Chains A and B, each alone.
Chain A
Amino acid sequence: MAANIIMPQLGLTMTEGTVVKWLKAVGDSVAKGEVIVEITTDKIGGQIEAPLDGTLLAITVGEGNIAPVASTIGVVGISGESVIIEETAALQSLEGNCPEKAPSSANIMAISHPDFIKASPAAKKLARDNNIDLALVTATGPDGRVVERDVKAYLSKVTAKPKTSPLAAKLADEHNIEPSTINKQGRIMSSDILNAASKVIEKSQKSVPLAGIRKIIAERMSLSWHTAPHVTISMAVDMTAAAALKSKLSQNAEKYSFTEIIIKCSAAALKELPIVNASIIDKAIVQHQEINIGVAVALEDGLIVPVIRTADKFSITGLRDSIRDLSTRARNGTLTADEISGGTFTVTNLGMYGVDVFTPVINPPESAILGVCRIQETPVVLNGQICIRPMMNLCLSFDHRLIDGALAAKFLNRVKQLLENPLLLLA
């Protein structure tokens, strides 16, 4: 009995998912529990396992296409079993949003096992001798029976050499191009080979299709950049007091980092200046009730921003534990969709990479993002004296549609103030 492969719901807000990659081809045998397809939502990736032992009989949603949650994207069953798929709702490909029909039942039927194809003994022998899959042969015999001439016709079609001009043949030899790979009706001329050769040169520059998390990042960054007029301001923060706090907290072998201290201060500043904790949604300014701070986590193949909900209600220790849990699971790929949505502000730290200044891109629909740079011992003038202090730049990118420069400066200055005098957090 065949079983459908269903697009799962990875989080409460997920309504559709994209098929990233089929790890099995139609006709491959699969074992129950074996991962057969990778999917992704706009925020998170996932894998789907085979529901039973058998053969992947059909793929109804190809790579790069979107399917609604709970819809069928493929079928696993016993080899030779015939499968009927109802036409699902029109699917959309991500690129053009052009509706694309799911394959009809007729297409799926054709995948059934060759043993079940009606064919004459001569046709079967010829197919066997030439290693031809009878399913690929167009039948012209009575009742759709494949006869010998059909196999012969197929054989001559696949083995036919394209007509090539003598000059083109010589050029093809030199450029190591197989003329039959050129898609052209009629005689292949020198210009066709030279065109193909120039494409091969381009190919050697390695082109990988934009897919999966990279594609999502690309789309979201473009959306942000093209929607929100970005302005970035930066301030130098004296981290002496914050460093003292960090070392005090870390006394019981419990490691703390500056990240949780900076998030704590940011949450406090957001609470005081709630307009920074807002979004423009459908031409309305939405001031968020919760302060949900996203923390950018670098992955091997991209970037993910898990969200600490109601970050202002956490202690520094609570923040530390939360960040640790979220970033571990971000790297494992086990975050739920809800854990990577609903952010109202983001903190991104490039300090560990030695960055002194950068202009972070806002994570839409948020209105601001705080970039954290490295801490460096720097000579500064304090009370008329040159002294060495651990200095750090904070870079705040904000959406100028919603936040003006003065407000942004006031907010950033408040974060600076809190970091330089953490005791104020108690006020």
Chain B
Amino acid sequence: MKKRVIVIGGGPGGYVAAIRAAQLGADVCLIEKDKTGGTCLNRGCIPTKALLHSVELYQAMKNGASSGILAENLRIDWTIVQRRKQTIVRRLVNGVDGLLKANGVKVYKGSARILNKNAVEFCGLQKETLTADYIILAVGSEPALIKIPGADLPQVINSTFALDLKQIPQSLVIIGGGVIGMEFAALYGAIGTSVTIVEMMPEILPGIDKELAAALKKELADEGISILTNTKVNEISSAGDGVVVSIDSGGDTRQLSAEYVLVAVGRRAAISSVGLEQVEIAVENGKIKTNEDFQTNISNIYAIGDCNGKCMLAHAASAQGIAAAEHALGHQAIYMGNIVPACIYTNPELAAVGMTEEQAKQSGQEYKVGKFPLAGNGKALIENNGTGFIKIIAGAKYGEILGVHILGPRATDLIAEAALAIRLEATVDELVSTIHAHPTISEAMAEAALAVNNMAVHWPPQKL
């Protein structure tokens, strides 16, 4: 008798969980109220990167003179940029639908509500009660709101809306200096929008190694993006077509005019309408509480991805989805939540995996730091004039890789090697003795590993 699995939510957590459950022989239903692919494909990762790619091309052309590319009358047709974004999103969504179908997953388009621990009410064009041995909740998250006067003005937008602006705005105030805020700042800042980031905390990019966050902040400031830290927004008021944002930097109050205000203060689990209360699923700080196997307090109901709040990243959700499906169907699942790479698609890119230097310090263990500036790497020089660096945190005694932090071109692709190194408990010795192809930016990874013991080849020895 096949096990029956219902997955609620078709984002990168849910659709991956559904496919894995089907691969393992279960009879799987997936309920999605909108388009499959979830926030990631439709309102997050993919559309932002599609827009950022267009912007990157534009910047490359604009700054191409030094590379011998001279363009005249360079302009952006925002409509085409948006259309290309839509095309890519549509293609990927169709791809997900095709994969679900190919794996025999039955997709129900509509809302879902848990009735009891083994039944879910589906409400689409018609109502239906579906039963299951296991339910995997992958209901995702939505942009968090702020409670200040004027937050409900039409010019106050969230990230979803910011992706679909009909025109490039003249000016934009972004509330929140996290990953989402920084990426939108990089996006619009590069195509002529006057961007101001307002961050309440003393630093931008919480959770990112402070040295890299500071370096990225400087890069963006050099691009003309204004970043105000230790600053809070008191009020937003309407002024003509735009708004006026009243800010307060430690008693120093000012007013910023902007066409739009983007609220990017994080995301919250979207768990209000799925019927958690029907089976009394435990919720903590607005997130579904789970154990390390992603089981809720009702053991046959799992919660993965943004809705459990463990790690609000698409790839973490996918990995959790696989782990939950495997666990439910009696397989041994491996999910290593401490080795989740994080990527920021600014220019230059930032990517990190493992411990930051602050975390290493806090853990109390002895560690060493190896840093290699990309100015010492030929390919990085070719690509972006050598901006950025790689920083490796390694255990002092054995040299095991604890964390890798990259600022620079292709950082988001380079981080994979670092994640694998940590996953396999590699030490700096293995990074060093792995031959890296020349000329690539990846050579800098081996150099940073060498730098842990102050042995970098393409950088002068550091005075200790």
Contacts and interface: CB of A to CB of B under 8 A. Distances in A.
A170 B426 contact: no
B65 to A, nearest CB: 47
A405 interface: no
A165 B399 CA distance: 13
A165 B398 contact: no
A170 B395 CA distance: 12
Contacts of B425: 165-168, 189-190
Chain A interface, >50% SS class: helix
B427 interface: yes
A301 B398 CA distance: 48
A171 B398 contact: yes
Contacts of B398: 167, 170-171
Interface in B402-442: 424-427, 429-430
Most buried by B among A170, A187, A189, A190: A170
Q: Range of interface residues on chain B?
A: under 10
B27 interface: no
A168 B398 CA distance: 10
Contacts of A189: 425
B447 interface: no
A187 B424 CA distance: 9
A165 B425 CA distance: 6
Contacts of B430: 166
Interface string A131-166: 000000000000000000000000000000000011
Chain B interface, >50% SS class: mixed
Contacts of B395: 167
Contacts of A187: 424
B59 to A, nearest CB: 41
A167 B401 CA distance: 9
A168 B430 CA distance: 13
Contacts of A167: 395, 398, 400, 425-427
Interface in B147-194: none
Interface in A158-187: 165-168, 170-171, 187
B186 to A, nearest CB: 37
Contacts of B427: 166-167, 170
B169 to A, nearest CB: 50
A190 B423 CA distance: 11
A190 B425 CA distance: 8
Nearest to A190: B425
Interface in A183-203: 187, 189-190
B276 to A, nearest CB: 35
Nearest to A170: B398
Contacts of A168: 425
Nearest to A171: B398
Contacts of B424: 165-166, 187
A132 B427 CA distance: 37
Contacts of B429: 166
Interface in A397-419: none
A205 B441 CA distance: 53
Interface string B103-128: 00000000000000000000000000
A282 B395 CA distance: 67
Most buried by A among B425, B426, B429: B425
Nearest to A191: B425
Contacts of A166: 400, 424-427, 429-430
Nearest to A188: B425
B437 to A, nearest CB: 22
A166 B424 CA distance: 8
A392 to B, nearest CB: 63
A6 B356 CA distance: 69
B56 to A, nearest CB: 37
A187 B423 CA distance: 11
A165 B423 CA distance: 9
Nearest to B428: A166
B155 to A, nearest CB: 53
A265 B47 CA distance: 102
Interface string B221-255: 00000000000000000000000000000000000
Contacts of B400: 166-167, 170, 190
A171 B426 CA distance: 12
Contacts of A170: 398, 400, 427
A107 B443 CA distance: 58
Nearest to B422: A167
A167 B423 CA distance: 11
Nearest to B429: A166
Interface in A369-384: none
Contacts of A165: 424-426
A190 B400 CA distance: 10
B385 to A, nearest CB: 35
Contacts of A171: 398
B352 to A, nearest CB: 20
B430 to A, nearest CB: 5
A189 B423 CA distance: 10
A170 B430 CA distance: 12
A220 to B, nearest CB: 44
B441 to A, nearest CB: 24
A165 B424 CA distance: 6
A171 B399 CA distance: 11
A166 B433 CA distance: 12
Interface in B19-51: none
A27 B430 CA distance: 47
B64 to A, nearest CB: 44
B421 to A, nearest CB: 9
A189 B426 CA distance: 10
A171 B427 CA distance: 12
A187 B430 CA distance: 16
Interface string B366-404: 000000000000000000000000000001001010000
A194 to B, nearest CB: 12
A172 to B, nearest CB: 11
6 cross-chain pairs, A with B, having the tightest CB-CB distances, nearest first: A165-B425, A167-B425, A167-B400, A170-B398, A166-B427, A166-B430
6 contacts: A166-B426, A166-B427, A167-B400, A170-B400, A170-B427, A171-B398
Given A165-B424, A167-B425, A167-B427, 14 more contacts: A165-B426, A166-B425, A166-B426, A166-B429, A167-B395, A167-B400, A167-B426, A168-B425, A170-B398, A170-B400, A171-B398, A187-B424, A189-B425, A190-B425
Interface of B: 395, 398, 400, 424-427, 429-430
